[in-house]
Amino acid sequence: MLENSDIIYVGVNDHDIDLFEGQYDVPNGMAYNSYIVRGERIAVMDSVDARFGQEWLAKIDAALAGAAPDFLIVQHMEPDHSGSIIAFMERYPAATVVSNAKSFPMMKAFFGTDFEDRRIAVKEGETLDLGGRALSFINATMVHWPEVIMTYDAATRTVFSADAFGKFGALDVDEDWACEARRYYFGIVGKYGNMVQGVLKKLAKLDVARICPLHGPVLEQDLPYHLDLYNTWSSYGVETDGVAIFYTSVYGNTKAAAQLLASLLGDKGVRVALTDLARDDMAEAVEDAFRYGKVVLATTTYNGDIFPFMREFIHELTERNFRGRRIAFIENGSWAATAAKVMAKMLEGCKDTEFLGPVVTLRSAMSDANREQLAQLADVLAE
């Protein structure tokens, strides 16, 4: 994983977890990454979830063969990374905790102590001398908490990137990086695209050969690919040509319309992602909405509003600054179809968004006129 002997991986894999942050399904678990950086003095980069604190400390002891770390660098205060700070500081009483000044009130709130006599508060551009090598610090405010910092090791051209460039999944599972990194990004970081763009500009000024995130694998191969994806995601750009169709359906009629549209688009050679919002993973649905440039929302009128799963989905999008998409609507209403108007109203604040026609309105079941409208809509979406 890391060939450089001066940087040692001491993270852990969590296969006990079912929902990350209490909401994201992680069938392949999670990795909580931590790294040792060695100069004449030794720094440990971040701790791990408290449930794995003793395993983590044992790895540090084994890696250092009796030597004691001088510093614990805390880049991010979420408990999956800060949960073992107390255990570390108790194990190594001569160590100093290094972090952004915003972190220490959080430590006080989480653990009842802010290590006033054993801490260094660092600012943007300041360095920590390890003797023979220096670590410099980068403010990464709101990527995705206010206290976040990143750390650059010029000696090995390594960026320790906190939660940025992370992904779902433990490191002992082989899976595609982009799929789970995309779901992780839009679920957790996606609201803060402007802040991510600011950090990417800072990283562009550095000579970077390696990125060490707090979740997921170390990135050493094809760095331009990973950086380009992060640029696309954080600028709300279109990653994949095609159409993402999202539907809710009470008795199957709206589903049938969504499926027919998907079939018509497929016949035209258009790539389609079709999602049942009541049954499929909501985080994957959000991921696809940001991935594709064209989106179709299909739902029923429900109590003068829209079906709850669609309402929640649109809220998930707008909360993450959804923008720059072309959106079409399919609505169903047996006596008063208002779903399209409700959805358009919810999305009206989205920047650079175009609503496409025709709006397809079902009156309970699909009619021949609806089939013709869906064919017309497929032509528009395929352009």
- pLDDT digits 0-9 by tens, 285-303: 999 999 999 999 999 999 9
Question: Which candidate, 75, 9, 77, places its Cα nearest to that of 38?
Answer: 9
The pTM (predicted TM-score) of the whole model is 0.92
pLDDT over 70 (residue 343): yes
How many whole angstroms separate alpha carbon 234 and alpha carbon 330?
29
Give the pair of three-digit tokens for residue 187. Answer: 């679920």
Query: How much is the pLDDT for 6?
Result: 85
- CB count within 10 Å of CB 338 equals 16
Strand bridging mode 127-129 / 134-139: antiparallel
pLDDT over 80 (residue 167): yes
> Which stretches does DSSP call E strand in 176-317?
210-212, 240-247, 272-276, 292-302, 305-306
Quick: pLDDT tens for 319-335: 999 999 999 999 999 88
Q: Across the beta sheet with 71-73, what order do the strands follow?
A: 7-9, 35-38, 42-45, 71-73, 96-100, 119-122
Query: How much is the pLDDT for 179?
Result: 94
- Percentage of residues of the chain with pLDDT beyond 70: 99
Say whether domain 7-234 belongs to CATH 3.60.15.10. Answer: yes
How many whole angstroms separate alpha carbon 243 and alpha carbon 266?
10
Burial bucket for residue 130 (CB in 10 Å: 0-12, 13-18, 19+): buried
Distance of CA 263 to the CA centre of its chain: 31
Quick: pLDDT tens for 308-323: 999 999 999 999 999 9
**C-beta of residue 312 within 8 angstroms of C-beta of residue 282:** yes
Q: How confident is the model at residue 210 (pLDDT cuts 50, 70, 90)?
A: very high
Can you give the residue ranges of every domain in the chain? Answer: 7-234, 240-382
Quick: pLDDT tens for 78-92: 999 999 999 999 999
pLDDT over 90 (residue 3): no
Task: Look up residue 359 and give its DSSP letter.
Answer: P
Q: How confident is the model at residue 204 (pLDDT cuts 50, 70, 90)?
A: very high
Residues whose CB is less than 8 angstroms from the CB of residue 145 and which lie 6 or more positions away in sequence, other chains included: 76, 77, 78
Quick: pLDDT tens for 363-373: 999 999 999 99
Residues whose CB is less than 8 angstroms from the CB of residue 93 and which lie 6 or more positions away in sequence, other chains included: none
CATH superfamily of 240-382: Flavodoxin domain (3.40.50.360)
Cα end-to-end span (Å), the chain? 45
DSSP string, 163-213: TTT--SB-TTS---HHHHHHHHIIIIIGGGHHHHHHHHHHHHTS--SEEE-
C-alpha to C-alpha distances, 307 to 88, 254, 298, 302, 331, nearest whole angstrom: 49, 11, 10, 5, 11
Q: How confident is the model at residue 275 (pLDDT cuts 50, 70, 90)?
A: very high
**C-beta of residue 50 within 8 angstroms of C-beta of residue 22:** no
Give the pair of three-digit tokens for residue 335. Answer: 């006596």
Q: How confident is the model at residue 4 (pLDDT cuts 50, 70, 90)?
A: low
- Percentage of residues of the chain with pLDDT beyond 90: 96
**C-beta of residue 233 within 8 angstroms of C-beta of residue 190:** yes
pLDDT over 90 (residue 1): no
Query: How much is the pLDDT for 262?
Result: 98
The C-alpha R_g of the chain, in whole angstroms, comes to 24
Quick: pLDDT tens for 39-58: 999 999 999 999 999 999 99
Quick: pLDDT tens for 9-41: 999 999 999 999 999 999 999 999 999 999 999
Q: How confident is the model at residue 189 (pLDDT cuts 50, 70, 90)?
A: very high
**C-beta of residue 47 within 8 angstroms of C-beta of residue 34:** yes
